[in-house]
Amino acid sequence: MKTIKITKMQGCGNDFVIVDFSEYEKTGLSMSELAKKICDRNFGVGADGMIIPKTDETEVDIGWYFYNSDGTTAQMCGNGMRCFAKYVSDNKLVDKKLFSVKTLAGIIKPELLDNGLIKVNMGCPIFEDKKIPFYGERTITVLDKSFEINPVSMGNPHCVIITEDDTMELAKKYGPYIEKHEYFPEKTNTEFVKVKSRMEIDMSVYERGCGITLACGTGACASVAACVSNNLTEQKVKVNLPGGAVFVEWQGSKDNFNQDIFLIGSANYSFFADYIL
């Protein structure tokens, strides 16, 4: 019988299992296999994703391996990055408050703030169709309904839909179909957003490779970028998610997309355990 040491963390209810690389090596499994096994909510620990720190990077401070609960890789995860930043700092894998992390979406820079929150420079939102990638119209029809959509990439593809209806009900009903829609050749995360004021939005998400989750950091950033570019909100916005709230800051506009976007929120430990394979 094999056991490995794991750490469970969450950011606004978006939960992750973090496994050191030395512990992963004991398993004899591929990372994809371990992610599916350990993230299973019935037969494993249960999580939206698995993170393994990569400490052998030379051009950045640290890297990571990130896997969704279905065993697929993801380019980026904002809530996961906040948890990762706290973990690697607390475990002395980095010795800086502001540091660089290599991801499949490029180099991301989290910062541990004095108030206990983590601020992540998520890079520039991408609205260019080919880079998302997105090939289609700005209206999408699934089941019995058509939606006006805002395709955005935060290193991973997003489909942001502004609505006056119940965002969670829409995410549950239509999210699985939009995720796999032909307009998005690499599938997509889908955010349903209700604008409460110019400083606050509600958001529910159907995540690519995960389904309904309590929060999505890249989705929060994509949603604010879509709202700002449509002149629906100011440039600093509170994003209410089912699992809690984050703040997103973006100094861009519909005429100036080339501005970094920042995600600010908490990261918390759930438990430490020995996991039996």
Residues belonging to the active site: 77, 216
CA 247, 210, 153 angle in degrees (round to 5)? 50
The size of the chain, in residues, is: 277
In the three-class reduction of DSSP (H, G, I as helix; E, B as strand; rest coil), residue 30 is classed as coil
The answer to whether the CB of 162 falls within 8 A of the CB of 150 is: yes
The answer to whether the CB of 82 falls within 8 A of the CB of 120 is: yes
CB atoms under 10 Å from CB of 41, counted, come to 11
Distance CA 120, CA 267 (A): 12
Structure tokens at 97: 């408050």
The answer to whether the CB of 13 falls within 8 A of the CB of 4 is: no
Distances (CA, A) of 241 to 3, 26, 65, 272: 35, 37, 25, 26
CA 158, 181, 174 angle in degrees (round to 5)? 75
Distance CA 74, CA 63 (A): 14
Nearest to 160 by CA among 254, 225, 243: 225
Distance CA 130, CA 277 (A): 41
Distances (CA, A) of 4 to 8, 31, 70: 13, 14, 20
Distance CA 82, CA 16 (A): 11
